[in-house]
Structure 1
C-alpha cells in the first residue's frame, strides 16, 4: 500500500512538472477583423475636416425671359463646384456603383448630370468617371459611377477630391405648355419654385 501511495505521489509531481515547464518559444493568437465599408457624401470643393462632411452646395435652375421679344426662354444652371466622395471596401471580387435618383422632373425640362474622373487624391479601384445621365419625364434614375472596387476604393478628402459633378438643363418648348397648365398661379411676372431632391446611393453591382 505504501508503495502504491509513493508511486501516485511521484506521478502527480511529474505531471505537474511537465505542465509547468516553459521553453524558449511560445505562441499567441491574433484575430484580425476587417469590416466591409460603404460610405458616401456629396460635398463642396473644400477639403473635408472634422467628424461630419459639409453639405453639398445647392443647384439653381432658372428659366428667365430672353433679351429679345419672340426669342426662346433662357435656361441658366448655377451651382458651386460639387464633388462625389466615397470610401468603399468590398470583398470576394465584388464591385459597387453609385446610383442617382431624382425625386421629380418638371414637365418641359431635361436635367443632365455628369460625373468626371477623380483626381490624384483617389486611392485604390475608384469607379470610372466620364458618365453623363439625362433625366426627363419618368426617367428619374440611373447609374452615375460604376466599377468601384473590388477591394479598397476611396476618392480622398482633400481640396477638389472626388468625382466632379456638373448639372445642365434644357427645355422642351412644346412640353412647357403643359407645365404652364400644371403650375399654380404665381401672379403676373412672379416666379414659381419647384424643389427637386437628388439621392446618391453606393450599392453592389449586380
Structure 2
C-alpha cells in the first residue's frame, strides 16, 4: 500500500476512533480542599480595652465599691476541625494578677448569626495566670463577626473573697491583659 493511500485510510478512520471513545456516560474529578481553621477574636475591636474603677467610700468605715460589671465585649471564633481533633476549646488566662482583686469572667451562651457546632460556656471563672477552659466542645462552626455575635463576656471585680483579701489592697492604677486561646482537644 502506498503512503498516500495509507494516509487517506488513517484520515478516514480517525473520526471513528475518536467517536469510539465516547459512551453514554463520562466523568471527571473536582479537587476540594477545606482548610483547618482556628481563629478567635474579641469584639468590638475598637473598644475592646475596658476600664473598671473601684469607687472610694464617702463615709468612714465603709469599704470601697466594686465597679458595675462590664458586658460590652463579645468572643467571636471560626473553627473547621479535622478528623484527628473532633472538638476545640477556648481557654482564658491573665498575664498578671492584681493583688487583692479577683477578676471574674462569664461567657454567655452563643448568640447572633453563627452556625455549626458552637461551644458550651463554662461557669463564671476567677481568672488566674493559668489557662482555664471557658468554651468547650467547639466543632466546625462560626459565631458571626462583631458585637452581638458569639459569646457575650461579663467581667466583674471582687475583693474580700477567698482568693482576694481586702487586706492585700494597695492604692494603684494597673492593667491586666486577658488572653483567649483556641486549641485542639
TM-score range, shorter chain: 0.7 to 0.9
Determine if contact 2:119/2:138 at 8 Å carries over to the other structure: yes
> Does 1:174 find its partner at 2:172?
no
Where does residue 28 of structure 2 map in the other structure?
Answer: 28
CA-to-aligned-CA distance 1:73-110 (integer Å, 9 cap, x gap): 22215645211011111022610011112111121111
TM superposition score normalised by structure 2: 0.79
Taking structure 1 as reference, are residues 120 and 65 closer, same or farther at Cα in structure 2, changes over 3 Å only? closer
Determine if contact 1:117/1:130 at 8 Å carries over to the other structure: no
Where does residue 184 of structure 1 map in the other structure?
Answer: none
Larger deviation, residues 62-71 vs 76-85: 76-85
> Does 1:105 find its partner at 2:97?
yes
Where does residue 160 of structure 1 map in the other structure?
Answer: 148
> Does 1:148 find its partner at 2:128?
no
Taking structure 1 as reference, are residues 15 and 174 closer, same or farther at Cα in structure 2, changes over 3 Å only? farther
Taking structure 1 as reference, are residues 61 and 74 closer, same or farther at Cα in structure 2, changes over 3 Å only? same
For 2:108 and 2:60, how far apart are their aligned partners in 1?
A: 38
Report how many residues are paired: 177
TM superposition score normalised by structure 1: 0.72
Matches within 5 A, 1:28-177: 28-44=28-44, 54-77=45-68, 79=70, 81-92=72-83, 94-119=86-111, 121-136=113-128, 139-149=129-139, 152-157=140-145, 160-171=148-159, 172-176=165-169
Considering only aligned residues, what root-mean-square deviation do their CA atoms show, in Å? 2.9
Larger deviation, residues 9-18 vs 119-128: 9-18
Where does residue 173 of structure 2 map in the other structure?
Answer: 193
What stretches of structure 1 of length at least 5 have no aligned partner? 45-53, 181-190
CA displacement at 1:129 relative to structure 2: 2.2
